[in-house]
Structure 1
Amino acid sequence: MTNFKVAGGNAVHIKKEIVSSLILAFLGLSLIVGGTNAYFSDTKEAANTFELGLMNLGINKESIIQLDDFIPGDTVQGDFELTNDGSVDMQEVVLHSSYELIDKGQNNNGDDLGNHIIVEFLHHESVLFEKTLSELNGNPIKILNAFTAGSKAEKFIVRFHFIDNGENQNHFQGDILNLKWGFEAAQRDGKSSNQ
């Protein structure tokens, strides 16, 4: 049997031991690191629902008043009801008023028909305000406070009076005034609650 002695054999053997030691060290380190991530766990979920409130202001008429042949000295009355048909209490209801004048007869020369028509607005037969159409034009007015959801209808009466100023008002003959009223409801203030 022939024995061959390779030069530097001890060096190769030492290198193998170092490499083996390093591999074992890395394996041990990876087990330690991996072991720190191993733990018991449990998870629960809670379902939360947010149903948003509904704002729904109702009115029982599309047109409160339609009239023909309105002349100085005339008074006409109409009525309507507002309802809170939603699920949210309303903090207030505001009336927005605007109008368009169609000058079909003589030239009005800047005389605004809205200055000659007085609006008397009543709630529960108490006068909320009495103003000319021109004073209402573009000036919102609060007509209701604290309108709770599901409460009974709120009834209003409106009177329009064409002022007879004792002067010639012939330049208004044949004119048309288109009055637009908008009712805007605002939600109640936000509140905090514990569940």
Structure 2
Amino acid sequence: MSMKKKLGLGIATAALGISLVGGGTFAYFSDTAETNGTFAAGTLDLNANPTTVIDVENIKPGDWMNRSFTLGNGGSLEIAEVLLETSYDVTDAAGDNGDADFGEHIRVNFLWNEDKAFLGPWSPDNVVYYTTLAELQSMSPDAVANEIFVPFLEERGGLQPGDSDELHVQFEFVDNGEDQNIFQGDSLELKWDFTGYQGEGEEK
């Protein structure tokens, strides 16, 4: 065999050996494990019953009206706070009220929260906090917290899933001892919006 043929055969043999060695680096045991996950968001479902808190006629200065309603949590998440927003429209029967606001003469007396009181029973006449409808328009109190509706509370406010709070409120047409004839025949349409908010995030 000529030197040229021997050299060519040697190169071919070496190339084959390298190929076998290289191919052998991929010949190993292997296994596969698969994982997956699910994220399901909870729900907030705030409800009020009844939805008409008050509907009264023929009131006069000095009259008061006690009313009760329930805020409930029909969702799967805790409602940490329930903020109350107040708005109203006044219909001026005589059309000459000027700057006088009927809402400044309707006082809201917030009473105890039956479901968060633990030393009761009290009479619903126990006033925890009071303000006028006019002043309440610029406020956003938490209806299920410690400041409004309740003199004594559970350690924790808010609404747990499936829970409800029975709230008591008194509306009073305040007799200020002065001439209030300007409000004769007037009417006020009140709107209370309760908005529930979740609490802070936590480790799951």
Q: Identify whether the pair has TM-score above 0.5, normalized to the shorter chain.
A: yes
How far the C-alpha of 1:68 sits from its partner, in A, is 1.5
For 1:168-179, list aligned pairs within 5 A. 168-179=179-190
The counterpart of 1:42, out of the listed 31, 35, 39, is: 31
Unpaired runs of 5+ residues, structure 2, are 115-123, 145-156
For 1:149, the equivalent position in structure 2 comes to 161
Give the corresponding residue for 2:153. Answer: none
- Residue 195 of structure 2 is aligned to residue 184 of structure 1: yes
CA shift, 1:118, in A, is 0.4
Counterparts of 1:10-159 in structure 2, within 5 Å, are 25=15, 36-37=25-26, 39-122=28-111, 123-124=113-114, 125=124, 127-144=127-144, 145-151=157-163, 153-159=164-170
SS of the residue 2:35 aligns to: coil
Structure that is richer in strand per residue: 1
CA distance in 1, matches of 2:50, 2:43: 21
- How far does residue 134 in structure 1 lie from its aligned partner after superposition? 0.7
1:140 corresponds to which letter in structure 2? S
Using the alignment, how far apart are the partners of 1:34 and 1:140 within structure 2? Answer: 74
The aligned length equals 178
Look up the equivalent residue of 1:171 and give its one-letter code.
I
The letter for the 2-side match of 1:106 is G
Q: Specify every segment of 5 or more residues in structure 1 that has no aligned partner in the other structure, as ranges.
A: 1-12
Q: What is the TM-score with the length of structure 2 in the denominator? A: 0.73
2:162 aligns to what SS in structure 1?
Answer: coil
Deviation at 1:39, TM superposition (A): 4.3
1:50: how far off? 2.1
Deviation at 1:33? Answer: 5.9
Letter in 2 for 1:154: D
1:116 deviates by 0.6
Q: Which has the larger radius of gyration?
A: 1
What is the RMSD computed on CA atoms of the aligned residues?
A: 2.8
Partners of 2:17 and 2:184 in 1: CA distance: 104
- What SS does the corresponding residue of 2:142 show, helix, strand or coil? strand
Shift of 1:174: 2.4
